[in-house]
Amino acid sequence: MSKELTSTIDIAAPAPVVWTMLVDFNAFSSWNPFITSAEGPLLVGGRLTLRMQPVGGSAMTLRPSVVEVVEGHRLRWQGRLVVRGLFDADHLFVVEPLSADESRLVQQERFSGLLVPLFERSLDRGTLPAFHAMNQALKARAERATATRGRPDRPVASSEPIGPIAALPVEPPVAQFGGDGEGHRTVERGE
């Protein structure tokens, strides 16, 4: 038995900005509602320690192994419950440039093993919504950084504060909220 979860979101920020924020594990606790802490080397074969918080569920600590890193584009890890074939997970992030100023984040996980049918409901109700929440939070952070800094030549480091946009000459800033992963967005004016 297997099950796949996918969450996709378009982001009005360059792919290098999104990637840098995605792999800045030290900043996760300040913005990431799903992976609330992450440690370990982003190298193939590296072992990560991840604290995950599914929506409406109990937090858990996982120790997957990194199986793929394509700098600026792909990060993939795999983990399992006790022994292979019981409940295995293959998690993938892909950052795709859509243009110089826009990108797409895909977060996907494939679960396989004998216990998948037992966990299927909690994956749909807790894990998939947590993917969406993380993607939305990363979108907001990257778009805020891009709007605050203009079109940066370099990604904003997590230690740099991301604050409100300075006064604009004619209109207040425009902030983008929402999104359905297909590029549709609800736009509201900021204060």
> Per DSSP, what are the bridge partners of residue 111?
3, 89
Distance separating alpha carbons of residues 75 and 84, to the nearest angstrom: 21
Summarised one tens digit per residue, pLDDT across range 96-139 is: 999 999 999 999 999 999 999 999 999 999 999 999 999 999 99
Q: List the structure tokens of 153.
A: 């030549």
Task: For residue 119, give the H/E element and its range.
Answer: helix 116-122
Among candidate residues 49, 19, 47, 15, the one with its CA nearest the CA of residue 35: 49
Phi, psi dihedral angles at 75 (to 5 degrees) = -140, 130
In the chain, what are the domains?
2-144+169-189 (3.30.530.20)
Summarised one tens digit per residue, pLDDT across range 16-29 is: 999 999 999 999 99
Report the length, in residues, of the chain. Answer: 191
pTM over 0.85: no
Report which residue type is found at 108.
Q
